[in-house]
Structure 1
Amino acid sequence: MDDKIRKLTILYGSQTGSAQEVAERIWREARCNHFHGQVKAMDDYTVSELIFERLAVFVCSTTGQGDQPDNMKKFWKFLLRKNLPVDSLRNLRFAVLGLGDSSYVKFNHVAKKLHRRLEGLGAHALCKVGLADDQHDLGADAVVDPWVQNLWNILNIMYPPPVELATQAVSFPSSRWNVVTSDVILSNRTEWLQWEDNSSLCPVLVNQRITHNQHFQDVRLIKLKSSLSYSPGDVVMVRPQNLPESTEQLLEILKHHKLHYLRPDTTLTILNKDDDMPVPPALSLPVTLHQCAQLYWDLNAVPKRYTFQIMCNFTTSELEKEKLQELISAEGQEDLFKYCNRPRRTILEVLSDFPHASANIPISYFFDIFQPIRQRAFSIASSPKAHAGEIHILLAVVQYKTSLFKPRLGLCSNWLASCSINNHLPVCIKKGSFTFPLDKSIPIIMVGPGTGVAPFRSFIQERVCSDSADSDTLLLVFGNRNHMADFHMADEWKSLEHMRKLTLLTAFSRDQPHKIYVQHIIEKESSLMYRWLERGCWIYVAGNANNMPAAVRNAFVTVLQDKGGLAPQQADDFITSMESKGMYQTETWS
């Protein structure tokens, strides 16, 4: 068979790294199925070459208000060109897998649009578009796993491997890169790795807890000194590092490694093995084991199934192998979820549970079992006009209990909380999903419970500094548990309310016997809300992605029914129309 036919190009659009991880998984499995081809971000691919492709898989997430990930925007813009012939991709067979979150109105919007556009250009779909959902009990894998397996079934029927390949036993996938160890001490060790995101190092000016000391939730206001330019609604991207105790735990585990004598200052040189999987810029120079443990590998991450496959392949213990085989089998997916995903068991804890496996994994596979530390996004909580030369971050320190004894810690929030004054953070600015109207006479309703109030602090401060803030055009609905414990920025809001620059409504769920949330306040103040809706207001909702966004939307639908006399479907259609016009925007996170 022509080698060109067995070429499979895998392209991804990924904002947080999840779509990239799935794309790289498909790339690994492609090798085992005797396909070859590159895997890269869509914007790193020469899109004009798409007309020459025979087979392609696209994996993409959806961000903000149904937007493309940053590393897919140029690719998508090219596909939307009106002068492209309707049959320009007639030779292409493709599959699209979307990673989304059904708490968003435009669930997997990008994947659906990409699938339709490719068909509109004459390409032929191999299968239905996959719509993975983070809100599923088993997470995105509930859709990803069967979708990927179905893809291989289809491809191997349509493009059966030649006899000489079909009879070859499929070996275990090789590591993505070669790694050479050395005891030569690096003379040019740097404090930070050189990632490709062009981050700037910004010193911490303030790291202040703003919730009551007795309150269960530690919420921080962190102020950074920065000359970076930004606008209200933008986000600051922060790449954290592992906490010292996690780094030391990994180094302790690796003291018992059977194949390599590893010390914290052991030098690792990472080399290309396959041109389709190049070494990233962060690893282009030699690094120490300690640097990888502190700055590159995410030691807090919940491991993927491939990690368990690697461990099963290399463990020297029959007991461990038997257990690992159960967990990676098709029948063992619920057991794997109960062991790993549901309790949020970290990669370090898994390695500790299987000591014979962790002691025998070749070091080159470390870059397969450990995920790289990803950037985290925070809505900027300051206005450049109000706080020139500063960036403010409002964050809740993530710490929670599962069935495991040790509390689960969010990597970035706990690292940020531990930072001292003058510590430097690697940050960069990205455009946020919120877009605010230029016409300052348009009334704005902002619903921001908890740290969801962050982007609205930026926007309100900007309006105040522009002398365009008043209580007839700015309405903030804030909610949390207790007025005295976690009323974020209370003095600021009350001062603006007193000066008639802001209309403020609050909901504190635990200050009375019955719980009151932001949606209840919207319904309670239905007359006020309806007057603002009649005036053509824009509505913004930010905060946790669980039940709040849908509950708030339903509350506005109820307002339209009760005060506007609309039928249920008419009221829902009214909000849907606002969403399509950008007048109702949501920015939520898990």
Structure 2
Amino acid sequence: MVQPRNPPRDVREFCSVLRLDADSVFVLEPRDADTPVPPYLPQPCSVQHLVERYLDIRCVPRRSFFQLLSYFSPDEQEREKLQEFSSAAGQEELYTYCNRPRRTTMEVLADFPHTASSVPADYLLELIPRIRPRAFSIASAMQAHPNKLQILMAVVQYKTRLREIRRGLCSSWLASISPEDGERIPLWVKKGSLKFPSDPDTPLVMVGPGTGVAPFHSAIQERAALGIPGCNLFFGCRGKSKDFYYQEEWQDLEKRRLLRIFTAFSRDQEDKVYVQHRIKENSAYLWELIGNRQAYFYIAGNAQSMPTQVTDALKCVFQSEGHMSAPEAEQYLVMLEKCRRFQSETWS
């Protein structure tokens, strides 16, 4: 888990819109017994620290944000618009204004300047949520790198209907840090959900498109350091020349017969090819591993459609190679889940 920070430019802009002195220092006191002081903030605390390390000024605000903001508005026109956004009748317009273009809290405040400059500083913690820590899978093994902890991260960047470039808060912050900066990154380790078999002879089948391959890189690296074969990886990405993570390492392990990799580069040909297609194409080999050699099967990655499509492809393998009916294939998958031979770790 990594605790990200807002970039200095955003901090300056936020303080400017709300007319806050970034260097001013304050002491937090609980408003009542039901509203304790956040334990994560120092006492006393500077406005700079609060905005940079605590307030999620890049998040898309919720309906309650507009409702609370309307109470502070001295401008009649801005107040009426905020009240409309927070009403039941105004939800469609709020969606068009805020959610569809993913307008940030800071951008909304800039659109309502009279209101923003009137927000009492002691209400900022109620108005804007805390920056949530970001979770990353550990992508390295202690056996290979005993003094290092590696993660696999894609820097998030995209455009919205506003034609403004959106950047991931944590990924952009981490990418901006140089080892020479001496920057200390607040992080902590939590136990993962994937469990790997203790028997080294047990084959592993791992499906990890994109950055979902991170926990499998760790598992493969551990077995490779111990000279243990039996790893099978289904990896997918947009293009072989663009985001084929760990390509040289995978190829070296294949030469050493410590890994067998199946790749799906979705944009490298006219018809898109995904990992679920590779699973169906290698159904006989997969059934030999799962049905006869008691292999463990894992999925990691984006939680949208990939896990369901991979699972459906696996059930097709059970039907075609295991000669099962659709209900039997479903029951076989349930059995694998119960004995932890089918596991998934997905995120949105």
Looking at structure 1, the residues matched to 231 and 117 of structure 2 have their Cα atoms a distance apart, in angstroms, of: 59
Question: How far apart are the structure 1 equivalents of 2:133 and 2:98?
Answer: 23
Partner of 2:194: 434
Mapped pair 1:587 → 2:345: yes
Aligned to 2:36: 278
In structure 2, give the amino acid aligned to 1:443: P
Q: Paired residue for 1:501? A: 258
Q: How many residue pairs end up in the alignment?
A: 345
2:160 is matched with: 402
Query: Quick check: 1:491 aligned with 2:233?
Result: no
SS of 2:40's equivalent in the other structure is: helix
> For 1:514, what is the secondary structure of its paired residue?
coil
Q: Could you tell me how far apart the structure 2 residues matched to 1:581 and 1:359 are?
A: 58
Post-superposition Cα deviations, 1:49-74, rounded to whole Å, max 9, x if no partner, equal xxxxxxxxxxxxxxxxxxxxxxxxxx
Deviation at 1:581, TM superposition (A): 2.3
Does the 8 Å CA contact 1:474/1:502 hold for their aligned counterparts?
A: yes
Q: Distance in 2 between matches of 1:274 and 1:384?
A: 47
Aligned mates of 1:579, 1:407 — CA distance in 2 = 41
Please point out which of 229, 238, 243 is paired with 2:2.
238
Structure 1 segment 224-263 matched on structure 2, within 5 A: 237-255=1-19, 262-263=20-21
Does the 8 Å contact 1:303/1:369 carry over to 2?
no
Structure 1 counterpart SS, 2:269: coil
Structure with greater strand share of residues? 1
Q: Secondary structure at the match of 1:376?
A: coil
Equivalent in the alignment of 2:223: 463
Structure 1, residues 378-401: CA drift from partner, whole Å, max 9, x if none?
000100110111010110111112
Select 1:545's aligned residue among 280, 303, 307: 303
Q: What's the % identity of the aligned pairs?
A: 45
Task: Indicate the RMSD between aligned Cα atoms, in angstroms.
Answer: 1.2
| Equivalent position SS for 2:29 | strand
- Superposed displacement of residue 297, structure 1: 0.9
Q: How far 1:494 sits from its partner (Å)? A: 0.6
**Deviations 1:294-342 (CA, angstroms, capped at 9, x unpaired):** 1111121111222111111111121112211111111222222222222
Aligned to 2:25: 267
Aligned to 2:289: 532
Q: Distance in 2 between matches of 1:284 and 1:510?
A: 49
Q: Deviations over 1:229-285 (max 9, x none)?
A: xxxxxxxx1101101111111121122xxxxxx311111211012223211222251
Give the whole-Å Cα distance in 1 for the aligned partners of 2:31 and 2:81.
31
SS of equivalent residue, structure 2 residue 194: coil
CA contact (8 A) 2:3 2:132 kept: yes
Contact map agreement 2:18 2:118 (CA 8 A) in 1: no
In structure 1, C-alpha distance between the alignment counterparts of 2:224 and 2:265, rounded to whole Å: 26
Amino acid at match of 1:250: F
> 1:9-31 deviations in whole A, cap 9, x for unaligned?
xxxxxxxxxxxxxxxxxxxxxxx
Aligned match of 1:480: 237
Alpha-carbon displacement from aligned partner over 1:110-161 (angstroms, at most 9, x marks no partner): xxxxxxxxxxxxxxxxxxxxxxxxxxxxxxxxxxxxxxxxxxxxxxxxxxxx
Letter of the 2:161 counterpart: S
Contact persistence 2:240–2:268 (CA under 8 A): yes
Listed as ranges, the gaps of 5+ residues in structure 2 are none
The TM-score, its normalising length taken from structure 1, stands at: 0.57
- Aligned amino acid, residue 243 of structure 1: P
- Asked whether the equivalents of residues 383 and 458 of structure 1 are also in contact (C-alpha less than 8 Å), the reply is yes
Residue number in structure 2 paired with 1:4:
none
Letter in 2 for 1:238: V
Aligned counterpart, 1:555: 313
Distance (whole Å) between structure 1 residues aligned to residue 200 and residue 283 of structure 2: 24
Alignment-derived partner of residue 207 in structure 2:
447
The secondary structure found in structure 1 opposite 2:34 is coil
Secondary structure of the corresponding residue to residue 277 of structure 1: coil
CA distance in 1, matches of 2:59, 2:100: 13
Give the whole-Å Cα distance in 2 for the aligned partners of 1:381 and 1:301: 28
Output the amino acid matched with 1:380: I
**Does the CA-based 8 Å contact 2:139-2:150 persist in structure 1?**
yes
Q: 1:396 touches 1:451 (CA, 8 Å); kept in 2?
A: yes
Question: What's 2:88 paired with?
Answer: 330
SS in 1 for 2:189: strand
Letter in 1 for 2:219: F
Mapping 1:513-528, distance limit 5 Å: 513-528=270-285
Flag structure 1 segments of 5+ consecutive residues without an equivalent. Answer: 1-236, 256-261
More helix by share: 2
